[in-house]
């Protein structure tokens, strides 16, 4: 009985801590290899993105593209994003596309970064 109470108390404390955790953004950088610029990955949790959905972004630094997947709370993709980045011009330009099924892509527009 004592072991059960300790287990229940520990579980409640972990659950309480998890439910009160702050929103966050997680980053990962893939290892750099000679001739390869490496990719970066970013995950925005639901409180930092849409309030309900998560967003996972991957920056492909070797070919200057970016892709993102917006996922619902069950982990199913809602919307896919893809961008082609042009760093060799000033200001930096990104041509952004989206898809709801991963097959049919639609042009959103051009974004300019100064």
Domain presence at residue 29: yes
Q: Find where tokens 């993102």 sit.
A: 68
How many domains, in total, are found in the chain?
Answer: 1
Query: What torsion do the CA atoms of 58, 99, 63, 46 make, to the nearest 10 degrees?
Result: -20
Domain presence at residue 1: no
Give the C-alpha separation, 81 to 98, whole Å. 4
Domain presence at residue 106: yes
Distances (CA, A) of 1 to 9, 15, 28, 72, 85: 12, 21, 44, 40, 61
Domain presence at residue 55: yes
Domain presence at residue 60: yes
Predicted local distance difference test score (pLDDT) of residue 8: 47
Q: Find where tokens 């100064």 sit.
A: 114
Domain presence at residue 96: yes
Tens-place pLDDT, residues 61-96: 777 888 899 988 888 889 999 998 887 778 888 899
**Residue span of the structural domain in which 100 resides:** 23-113
Domain presence at residue 13: no
Domain presence at residue 11: no
Tens-place pLDDT, residues 48-61: 777 888 888 888 87
């Amino acid at each position: 009985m004592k072991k059960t109470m300790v287990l229940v108390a520990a579980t409640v404390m972990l659950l309480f801590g998890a439910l009160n955790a702050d929103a966050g953004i997680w980053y990962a950088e893939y290892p750099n290899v000679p001739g390869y610029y490496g990719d970066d990955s970013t995950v925005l949790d639901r409180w930092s993105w849409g309030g309900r959905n998560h967003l996972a972004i991957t920056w492909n630094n070797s070919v200057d593209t970016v892709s993102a997947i917006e996922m619902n709370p069950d982990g199913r993709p809602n919307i896919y994003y893809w961008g082609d980045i042009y760093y060799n011009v000033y200001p930096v330009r990104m041509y952004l596309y989206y898809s709801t099924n991963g097959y049919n892509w639609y042009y959103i527009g051009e974004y300019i970064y100064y």
